[in-house]
Amino acid sequence: MHTPARKRLVMIGNGMAGIRFLEHLLKLSPESYEITIFGAEPHPNYNRIMLSTVLAGGTDISEIVLNDWNWYEDNGIKLYAGHRVQHIDIESRRVVSDQGVVAAYDVLVMATGSSPYMLPVPGAAKEGVIGFRDIKDCETMFEVSRKYKKAAVIGGGLLGLEAARGLLNLGMDVTVIHLHGELMDRQLDSPASRMLKRELQNQGMKFLMNKQTEYIGGRKRVTHITFTDDTLLETDLVVMAVGIRPNMELAKDAGIPVGRGILVNDYMSTQVEGIYAVGECAEHRGISYGLVAPLYKQGAVLAKHLAGVPTEGYHGSMTSTKLKVSGVNVFSAGEFKGSEDTRSMCYQDEVEGIYKKIVLRGDKLVGSVLFGDTGDGPMLFSLMKSGESVAGREKELLLGYAPGKSQADPVQRLAAMPDDEIVCGCNGVSKAAIADAISNKGCTTVGAIKACTKATGSCGGCKPVVEGLLTLYAGEEASVNVKEGICGCTPLGRDEIIQSMKSMGLKSVKETMNVLGWGEPEGCSKCRPALNYYLGMLWPDSYEDEGESRITNERYHANIQKDGTYSVVPRIYGGVTSPSELKKIAEVAERYEVPLVKFTGGQRLDLLGVKKEDLPGMWEDLDMASGYAYGKTLRTVKTCVGNTFCRFGTQDAMAMGVRLEKAYERINTPSKFKMAVSGCPRNCAEATIKDFGVVAIDGGWELHVGGNGGVKVRATDLLCTVRTEDEVMEWSGAFLQYYRENASWNERTAHWVERVGLDSIIEALKQPEDRQALLKRLEIALEQTRDPWKEIIHDPSLRKNFEPLAVSGMIHPGE
C-alpha cells in the first residue's frame, strides 16, 4: 500500500546506469521513495561490459550479476522483470507495461539504455542475424555454435572484436568485416590498429577490410553475405556490431522532447516536470555517452538532486577508453589522431608489442594512444583534463621516465594522480574512493577493495593501478599477490574456511563471519550460501539450515519465471510414472489453472505459471516429493527402458535409476547434480554427459563421472567397472560424499574432476574401508533431509511467506 509520506518513483530500465543511480539514492535518502522498476529483460541487474567474457568462456552468466534478486527484495523495490513499458501517460502520471501492469508515479526516471544498430540491408531479418547487446544474444551464440561452424561479425570496433573473440572460443571459424581499412579506427591510430590486427590474426581471427554489406542471403536462415564489390562470404551466423542508438521511442511517443537521445539539463531533468533520464538514452549538451563512467556521474547527480542534497549538476565528461581487447591492453583519450595544429611523439616496439603516442597542442597534452602497456593511461588522462602545462616533460610522459634516468617507480607516479581521477571506469571508482577503502576501511587486498568499492569487479583492466594504490597506501600491510577468497568479503579460500570451522567448532553463518573477520558483516550472495552449505556438510546432525542464506528459488521451493509465476516440478523417480500419478498431476494442474505442462529434459513434468500463493496448496494436493529442480542437490536420474523392454538392453536401467534417485534425493551438494542410467552401451539416457553416469555392459556396469551437457559440453571419465547393483550404490554414494566434502561451493563435478584430477578421486575411493567411511557420513547427512513442503503444508505460520511476490523475473537454468 502506498504511504503518502513517500513519493512514488518509477524507473523504466534495469541496467547498470539506472541501478547505480538507485544505489546512490538509497544511501542518501532511503525512506523518501517507494520504488518500482520495469526491466525488459528477465534478469536482475547485470554487468553488460562482461558479456564478452561470458561469451569467451571466462565466466558464467551468474557471475556477472551486480544486484541479485535478494537486493531488490531487501530494499523494498518492486521489480517487474521481463516487462517492457509500452506507454507513458504524462497527464495521469502512469506507465503501462506490455503485460498490463499499471504503475502510478510522482517521479519517473527513464533509464532505457540503447539498442544495437542493425544495418538496414535486405535479409537483415533472417534467422541467424543478431546484435551483441544482452544475455539473450550470448545464449543465441552458444546455441548456434553447437550446430554451425562459420560466423561473420560486421564491425571492427571494440564490440565486434570482443564478439569475434568469444565466437573463436566457441570453436567457430570467425571473419570480421569492417567498412574501413583500420580496426577500432575511433579509438586507435594507424600503427596501433595494425599491431592489433596482427595480434588478432595470430589468435585465429580473419578479416575483410574495406567491405560494405549489400545484402544477407539465404531463404529462412542466413547462408551468406554479399558485398557491394560483388564478392561473397559464406556464413551460418551474422553478428552486427556497428554501433548503438539510444532507446528514446517511448519518450518520443509520450511527448517528451528528444534529439539524438532524450534531452536533459544538468540535473538530468527532461523538459517534462517530474520526468528524468539517465544513461545511454539521455542526450546532455548535445552528447549521448556510451561509457559507464560518465553515466555513473549522471546517476550520482540525479540521486543528489532527488534526495535534496546540494549538487553543482552534471557538466559533461571528457572520456577515455581503457580496455582489454581480446587479451590486448588498449588506452586512448582525447585527440589521439592529431591535427594540423598539434604535434605528436611516438614510441613503438613491435617485438614486445608496445606502442605509445602523445599528442600536444602548444604546451598542453590533448591526446594519447597506448597499446600493450597502458599503465600510464590514468596519469595522462588526468593531465588532459587539468590542462596544465607539460613543457619540458614531453619525453618523460611518453616513456614513463626522463631520458637518461632510470625508470620512475610506478607507485610514485600514482602518488601524483589527482584524487578525483577515475581508476575503474567500468564502475566509476575514483582514486580517492580506493584510498579511503585502504586507509580507513582496512582493505589490504585487491579482493577486499573490490568488495568495498567494486573496483576491478568488471573488465579487470584497472587491476594493475589498484595494486599500485594498495602498495602506495597500505605499505607493508598490502597483500598484492594474495589469493582471492571465496568472495570479496574475505581473503579466505574454501579450504581455510572449512579448516577453521572444524578446528574452532564454528556452527553458524554469523559466527563464522564474526570469528573469521568478514569485511562485510552480513556477507553477500556468494559467500552466505557457501557458508550455509559448508556448515551443513560438516555438521549434518546438528546444523540448522539457514533459509535466508539460500537463493530465491530455494527459499520458495520452486523456479521463479520471468512473469513472476513459478514452475513446480514434482519428483518422478527415474522418469518412471503410473497412470494414477499422471492423473493426479493432471487434476492438480486443472484445479490451479496451470497454463502450461511440459516434459523436461530430465523425464519429469513441469507445471509452469503457478502463482506464489498457490504453491503450498498445490504441493498438498499433489502429495508428491519435490523434484528439487531449483536446488543444489540431486536433480534427476534419467533412464532408458533397459532390458525390461529393449532388445538391446543388458541390465534393468529403470530399476537401477529409481534405486539411485530414492537413495540420494534431497541431499545437498556443492552444485546441481544429475545422474543417468543407460541399459546398454548405446547410451540412450546420455549417461556420459552427467555428473554420475551408469552404463550397463554384459555382466556389469561402467561408472562414469564429471560429465556436463551445458554450454561447455564435457564427456565423462570412466571411474571404474563393477559387477552388481549393490556395488553401483556403494561407489556412487562414496563418490557423491567425496564430492560433497571436497568441491568448492557452486563447482560442478565437471570442473571439480578437471581441477583435482581423476587419479586422485580413484585413489580416494579404491579401498573398501574408505568407501564405507564415506558412506557412513553420507548416511548421517541423508538422515537429516526432509521434504520442505511437508513442513510448509502442516505449519500455517510458514504459509504466510507465500503472499504475492514483488520481485519477479528469474529464469532458472533448465534441467
List binding-site positions for [4Fe-4S] cluster: 640, 646, 680, 684
Q: H or E element: which one contains 690?
A: none
Q: Kindly give the residue spans of alpha helices, DSSP state H, lying in 265-400.
A: 292-307, 377-386, 394-399
By the 8 A CB rule, do 644 and 652 touch? Answer: yes
Q: How far is CA 692 from CA 271, 289, 464, 638, 745, in A?
A: 61, 50, 42, 11, 18
Q: How far is CA 812 from the centre of its chain?
A: 13
Could you tell me the end-to-end alpha-carbon distance of the chain, in angstroms, rounded to an integer? 38
Q: How far is CA 150 from CA 46, 225, 712, 736, in A?
A: 29, 12, 18, 40
Q: How far is CA 136 from CA 114, 141, 166, 567, 600, in A?
A: 15, 9, 15, 21, 21
Q: How far is CA 233 from CA 160, 170, 214, 223, in A?
A: 17, 20, 12, 9
Q: 447, 324, 435: which is closest to 50 by C-alpha?
A: 324
Q: How many CA atoms lie within 13 A of 248 on its CB side?
A: 24
Quote the CA–CA distance of 10 and 29 in Å, as a whole number.
Answer: 16
Letter string b/e over residues 520-558, b meaning 16 or more CB atoms within 10 A of that residue's CB: beebbbbbbbbbbbbbbbbbbeebeebeebbbbbbbbbb
Quote the CA–CA distance of 472 and 469 in Å, as a whole number.
Answer: 5
What value, to the nearest 5°, has the Cα angle with vertex 492 and ends 487 and 497? Answer: 105
Letter string b/e over residues 244-263, b meaning 16 or more CB atoms within 10 A of that residue's CB: bbbbbebbeebebebeebbb
Query: Among positive and negative, which fits the CA dihedral 45, 49, 55, 56?
Result: negative
- Residue 767 one-letter amino acid: Q
Please enumerate in sequence order all residues whose Cβ is within 8 A of that of 760, keeping only pairs 6 or more positions apart, or say none: none
Binding-site positions read 640, 646, 680, 684
Quote the CA–CA distance of 151 and 322 in Å, as a whole number.
Answer: 27
Residue ranges of E strands in 596-728: 596-599, 605-610, 634-639, 673-678, 692-697, 700-705, 717-722
Binding-site positions for siroheme read 684
